[in-house]
Amino acid sequence: MKQENQGKRIRKKNHPTEKRRSFGKNITLYRDDYIMLLPGLIYFLIFAYAPLWGLIIAFQDYYPLKGIFGSQFVGLKHFKKLFTDPFFARVFKNTIIISVYKFIFGFPAPILLALCINEIKAMRFKKTMQSISYLPHFLSWVVVSGIMVEFLSPSRGPINVLIKALGMDPIFFIADKRYFRGMLVMTDMWKSIGWGSIIYLSSIASVDQEIYEAAMIDGAGRFKRIIHITLPALVPLLTIMLIMESGKLLNDSFQQVYNFLTPTTEEVGDVISTFVYRKGILQMNYSFSTAVNLTKNIISFVMVVIANTIANRVNEYALW
């Protein structure tokens, strides 16, 4: 008799209506959290998912007056044109090179900064350094480009003043193809290093301090504690960040490149986003520019899948 009653209670507990009720209770219980999520969800629905409907124009000869439903369907015409375009190979190469440079120098930079800030013991100085490193993130690329134009000016910039004082000819860094990519990498690092270190600092802060104390008692120095305690604790986060960065290999900063690009540096600085801007906005070739962006996003998605697969085989930390 008791077993039958228990069975009835179990069946009642697992009934679908009970699951729906429990979900409703969860919403009621955590309604404040769901309300906080709403602005983010609405933002992504409006600006990330709703525009996906417009991808259909990549397969059309789109004309704004005719609209999506009135424009002629042409299949893969624009994708074929993309791979035969004489300028696309150049912008694709430039995008890859600049992104690889940014990854090599920019990815470890926030980690190193987070490790350095974490080793500062004076809390007031530590917070001051954090605040100073965060500030460039809040400057627009228009402001940053203006600062760099003045800073690297061949006539009055401090770098060139020093170069001339050493008896050498001044260098116009922004208009010189030899230095343009390096300048993009350095300005990107300067602007993003502080903001990027926040996530690593929060991960380091979660490490149990007793582990550090035990290591100090065993005679481990500061460098050994970083190598054997801090860095292993960052492995899960580093894996996730590497996977996400792999998807950004073809994503360039349009605002940065557009504000720095000049006719003399177009050969080495013209990237996919500036190419799409010219084709889509200036030349009003909307279908072709959509095909370019769709191709870029497909390649980025494939890169993320490959990186995630490798991460699953190397360790258990992955996106899925």
- CA 294 to chain CA centroid, Å, is 18
User: Within 10 A of 266 (CB to CB), how many other CB atoms are there?
Assistant: 16
pLDDT digits (tens, 9 = 90+) for 92-103: 999 999 999 999
Closest C-alpha to 280, from 163, 272, 187: 272
Q: Bridge partners of 131?
A: none
CATH of domain 76-314: 1.10.3720.10
Token pair of 143, please? 């402001």
Q: How far apart are CA 73 and CA 264, in angstroms?
A: 39
pLDDT digits (tens, 9 = 90+) for 204-261: 988 888 898 898 888 888 889 999 899 999 999 999 999 999 888 888 889 999 999 9
Which pLDDT score, from 0 to 100, does residue 10 have? 44
pTM of the model: 0.83
Give all strands (DSSP E) within the chain, no chain letters.
60-61, 72-73
The DSSP letter of residue 110 is: H
Average pLDDT over residues 1-16: 47
Average pLDDT over residues 157-177: 89
> Where does CATH 1.10.3720.10 sit in the chain?
76-314
Beta carbons of 91 and 292 less than 8 angstroms apart:
no
Instruction: Please name the residue that has the structure tokens 């134009």.
Output: 149
For residues 283 and 25, which has the higher predicted lDDT (pLDDT)? 283
Q: How far apart are CA 102 and CA 187, in angstroms?
A: 10
Beta carbons of 256 and 99 less than 8 angstroms apart:
no
Which pLDDT score, from 0 to 100, does residue 8 have? 47
pLDDT digits (tens, 9 = 90+) for 27-84: 788 888 889 989 999 999 999 888 888 899 999 999 888 888 888 999 999 999 888 8
3-class DSSP state of 68: helix
Q: Bridge partners of 60?
A: 73
**Ramachandran category for residue 61: left, alpha or beta (phi over 0 → left; psi -120 to 50 → alpha):** beta
Give all strands (DSSP E) within 16-116, no chain letters.
60-61, 72-73
What is each CA distance from 290 to 87, 96, 181, 270, in whole angstroms?
16, 20, 26, 18
User: Has residue 314 got a pLDDT over 60?
Assistant: yes
Angle at 182 between CA 278 and CA 147, to 5 degrees: 75
pLDDT above 90 coverage of the chain, percent: 52
Q: How far apart are CA 193 and CA 234, in angstroms?
A: 17
